[in-house]
Amino acid sequence: MTVDLVTLIFHELLKISPELLARYPTIQDKLLYLILIPHVVLFILLLFFANNIVRGHPRLKNLILIVSYIYVIYSGFYGSFVVPIAISWFVILLPLFFIGHLILRIFPYEKTPAIVALLYRAGAEPLRKAKLHELYIEELKSVNRALNYLFAQAGANVKIKETYTGDISDQVKKASNAISNLVENKKITNEQAKVWEEELNKLIRWREEIIRKLRHL
C-alpha cells in the first residue's frame, strides 16, 4: 500500500488525525486498530440505532444503516469519535461480551425471571429478618417497661432489663404476693387488685408471644 493510498484512505476518507496514524506505523496495525475494530463497534452501534427506529421493515432498516454509515464517515465522526472510543473500549468490551454469552448459555432468557426472583429473595430475606428482629426488640422493651411500672406500683422490689428475654416467673410471683399484701393491708381494693392481676397476665402473654416470634426468626 503506497503512501498516497494510505493518506487517501486514512486521512482524506476516514479523517483520522496524523497523530493517531503515527501510533500505528505498520499497515497491519492500521488495518486492525483503525479499520477492523472500529468498524465492528460502529456496525454494532448502527444496528442498535436502526433496530430501535425501524421494526419489521428490513429494506428501510438497511437504508438507514447505509445512510448513517456514510454520514458518520463523511462528517468526520469516524476518525474523531469512533476510532478513539473503539480502541479504548474494545479490549474491555470483548471479554465482557464473552462472559455475558457464557452467562446466557448457562442461564437462558426463559429462566432469568426465576433466577432474579431467587436472588432477590436470598438477598431480601436477611434484611427482612433483621428488620423484624429490630421491631420485636422494641416491642419487648415496651412490654418490659410496662411490667416494671406495674411491679413498682405493687411495691414489689423487682425489676427486669428492657431487652431481657429470660424467665420472669420469680418476679411475677413476687409481684402477685405484693398485690395480695396490699389487699390484706387494705391499701387497695379487691377490684383494683383484680385489675392489676389481669394487666399483669396480659403483659406476660404479650411478652411470651414476642419471645416466641424472636426465636422463630
The DSSP output letter for 109 is G
* pLDDT tens-digit map of 85-98: 887 777 777 777 77
What is the count of structural domains for the chain? 2
What pLDDT does residue 138 have?
92
Boundary residue ending a domain (60, 86, 106): 106
* pLDDT tens-digit map of 115-132: 556 655 666 677 778 888
Work out the burial of residue 196: count CB atoms within 10 Å of its CB; fewer than 13 is exposed, 13-18 middle, 19 or more buried: buried
Residues 180 and 207 in one domain: yes
- Ranges of the chain with pLDDT below 70: 1-4, 6, 104, 107-124
Cell 409481684 locates to: 175
Residues 120 and 95 in one domain: no
Boundary residue ending a domain (79, 106, 133): 106
Residues 135 and 88 in one domain: no
Contact yes or no for 34/83 (Cβ under 8 A): yes
Asked whether the CA dihedral 49, 82, 98, 66 is positive or negative, the reply is positive
What pLDDT does residue 163 have?
87
Boundary residue ending a domain (106, 128, 143): 106
Residues 120 and 26 in one domain: no
What pLDDT does residue 79 have?
85
Characterize 121-141 residue by residue with b for buried, 16 or more Cβ atoms within 10 angstroms of its Cβ, and e for exposed. Answer: eeeeeeeeeeeeeeebeebbe
Residues 26 and 95 in one domain: yes
What pLDDT does residue 74 have?
87
Residues 132 and 81 in one domain: no
- The pTM of the full predicted model, rounded to 2 decimals, is 0.45
Give the residue numbers spanning the domain of 141. 115-215
Residues 162 and 82 in one domain: no
Residues 124 and 57 in one domain: no
